[in-house]
Amino acid sequence: MIQIYTHAACLAHATGPGHAERPERLRTVIHALEAAHPDLDWQQAPQASRGQLLRVHDEHLLATVLESAPQGLLSIDADTTLSPHSAEAALRAAGAGVAAVDAVLGNRTRRAFCAVRPPGHHATADAAMGFCLFNNVAVAARHATDKHGLERVAILDFDVHHGNGTQQIFEQDPRVLYASSHQWPLFPDTGARNETGCGNIFNAPLPKGADGEAFRAAWHDELLPAVDAFRPQLLLVSAGFDGHRRDPLAGLLLDCADFVWLTHALVALAGHHADGRLVSTLEGGYDLDALAECAVAHVDTLRL
């Protein structure tokens, strides 16, 4: 039982010619999911509310994203861009996770996948960066703790980049565990093993050229045992597929089967501790064919 959350506004967020984080990414994922599974339960992602965003972000960032209203492209930093439809896309991308958390905690579905953009895990409490405007998974996690009263929420991040924003937002919040594998060094150059927050942050950096064996070992030996010991009541996944060997932005050598292996493990953990409840949200992935193949395989595994 899985629901897929998306919205057309997420396709209208323009980033400029030649930008890696482009609308075609999401279009390809949606078409691949529709082709693979004509019977998927598609849901329209609502807009996150101000109150939901303010659990994570400050007023200044909300104003930057929501009130800039650019006529064309407006650069926030070297690789993060606002355009006329970006505000709604950011609200829908964050709102997808909130709605998905409500759905799994309300027993309307066991699992959900949020097919959204812009991605989120680099956005900090006070800054948009690294293609990310709002931190979608962080907004979902705070909704689970603050609205639903959960005491233990785990965020699992297998994007090839470290989720510096997610780590910063939760490093003093013991209700949320953050576990990440990522290529290091690589943008944003955080995620060293000794960054441990209040004992709730677990980083497994991998060197350029690391393959599926190293990736699986990091999760099997280090990250999954930490998550297991935490006994999360809900699992949230930052699902980035840019660790794939064909990805143009990074240098890991993962295959689709490695993402499937980890997804199986996360489903098992969710079953053990969280009544199967798991919400996954798309982060990176910049080779269109690899992204589509891996996203479909990820959703296939979440359906089990």
Q: Which residues are catalytic?
A: 122
In the complex with Zn ion, which residue's Cβ is closer, 102 or 247? 247
Among 180, 227, 284, 291, the residue binding Zn ion under the rule CB under 5 A is 284
Closest approach, Cβ 279 to Zn ion, in A, equals 19
**Should residue 240 be labelled a site residue for Zn ion when binding is judged by CB under 5 A?**
yes
Using rule CB under 5 A, residue 161 touches Zn ion: yes
Told to check if 163 binds Zn ion by CB under 5 A, we report no
Nearer to Zn ion, 94 or 274 (CB): 94
- If the CB atoms of residues 90 and 186 are measured against Zn ion, the closer one turns out to be 186
Q: Return the number of the residue (117 or 161) whose C-beta is nearest Zn ion.
A: 161
CB of 1 to Zn ion, least distance (A): 28
* Residue 212 binding Zn ion, by CB under 5 A: no
From the list 59, 55, 60, 68, the residue with the least C-alpha distance to 101 is 55
| In the complex, least distance from residue 240 CB atom to Zn ion, rounded to whole angstroms | 4
Does residue 247 interact with Zn ion by CB under 5 A? no
Shortest distance, position 122 Cβ to Zn ion, whole Å: 8
Which residue ranges make up the site for Zn ion (CB under 5 A)? 159, 161, 240, 242, 284
